[in-house]
Amino acid sequence: MSTRATKKPDATTALKDRRLRAVYRRELQNSVFQSALIVSAAVAAAAIAGAFGAPTVAPVLIALMLPLALTTLATAWAVRRRGRRYAIPLGMAVGLVPLLSTAVSILLLPQSGAVALGTVALIPLAFAIFVPLERKAHLTWLVLADGLFLGIVLCLCASGADLGRAISMLIAGAIANALSLGANAVQLSRRYQINGQVLAVRGLYGRMKEHELDLRRQDEFLFMQQETLVVQQDELLHLNEELETIARMDALTGLGNRLRLNEDLASLAARIERTGGTAGLLLMDLDRFKRLNDTCGHLAGDAALRGVAEVMRKTSRVGDGVYRYGGEEFLVLLHDCDESSLYAVGQRYLTAIQAAGMAHPDNPPYGVVTASAGATELSQANCTDVDAALHDSDEALYVAKENGRNRLELHLRPGPADVVPIDRQRAAS
């Protein structure tokens, strides 16, 4: 974005710049003050020198020069007090005092004509150098000085001075004007050049500040982006955790699903194989669940599944894992459970399900939802083949179904004659 500080500096910009104009007025104030002191001293010195050179006109010369010297001193005081506001008109007044002093010398001291002519030529040059006004103000001062100078020439002509002297003074005045204009142009050129450099440096500084501000804004933006990324990363991790949980959770009951079971069972088997110990696999199946769906509807069946899942959560011990194995089948991983306590722990689940009193009209003789279960001990002897252990639990579950349902059977290794076809097992459930 382009601002006043970053635009290409030129003379117009320098003239309109408030700070540069304030610096110029302060410098002009100092120049006018110093010039007023110098003019006052020069007028006093000229009066003293004229008094010694022409004692006959000394009183008149001093009487005329003294007010001029006092005027320049008063001007110096005024410039010091309020010079910034009135520096230009006070500077013009200081520049006219030497002309008045020269006019007095020419009128009272005819013998000082050559010196007076040289002074007339030097005063505008010195004014342009020591009081560097703007072009318009400088031209205004030249008009006033030329008017005063022409008045002096006319006075000399009226007093009977020869024409050659008047022409010499006019030539000296023209030379003085040319020198003053040239000196003023040089002063203004130098000042504009310095102002341009100041504006260029200021513009560079402004661009640096804007660049610094842009960098700061970019840092803030990047910091905000980083914070946003961190928040989004946390949300993504949280969502991933939720997705992983959902992927391992049964949508109907809220229990672990087959994926979660396979992971936990593999981890449990690896721990038993590595460190020893025992665990129990308790596989349960709701009795006559198909009849419940046919008699009361699938909504009642879903309600029964959710109710059984809630009972199993409340019945499970700390550390046990409860899963929906499939359909109306549930499985419990009983940690640190050996064969001697496996039956008691498994029977507690069956008792809790029956005690919940969930209606099942087509499940005689109980009239409520019940479950049959098969349990297998998992130890270092069989932990390397968890599929076989699950199959053993399924066989024990079939035996419980065959023996009247609503009961728990522990797995006993069957002989060859005891193998039951899988289609018969499913029909019994």
Q: What are the catalytic residues? A: 328
Q: Do residues 351 and 418 make contact, with C-beta atoms less than 8 angstroms apart?
A: no
Provide the β-strand partners of residue 249: 256
Helix (H, G, I), strand (E, B) or coil at 284: strand
- Cα(72)–Cα(52) distance, integer angstroms: 23
Pairing of the two strands 408-410 and 321-326: unpaired
Q: What is the CA radius of gyration of the chain?
A: 58
CA distance 400 to 48: 145
Task: Count the alpha carbons within 13 Å of 334 in the hemisphere toward its beta carbon.
Answer: 29
Q: Phi/psi at 312 (nearest 5 deg)? A: -65, -35
Report the alpha-carbon distance of residue 20 to residue 267 in Å, rounded.
83
Query: φ, ψ for residue 307 (rounded to 5)?
Result: -65, -40
Q: Distance between CA 394 and CA 380 in Å, rounded? A: 20
Question: Reduced to 3 DSSP states, what percent helix, strand and coil does the chain have, rounded to the nearest 5?
Answer: 75, 10, 20
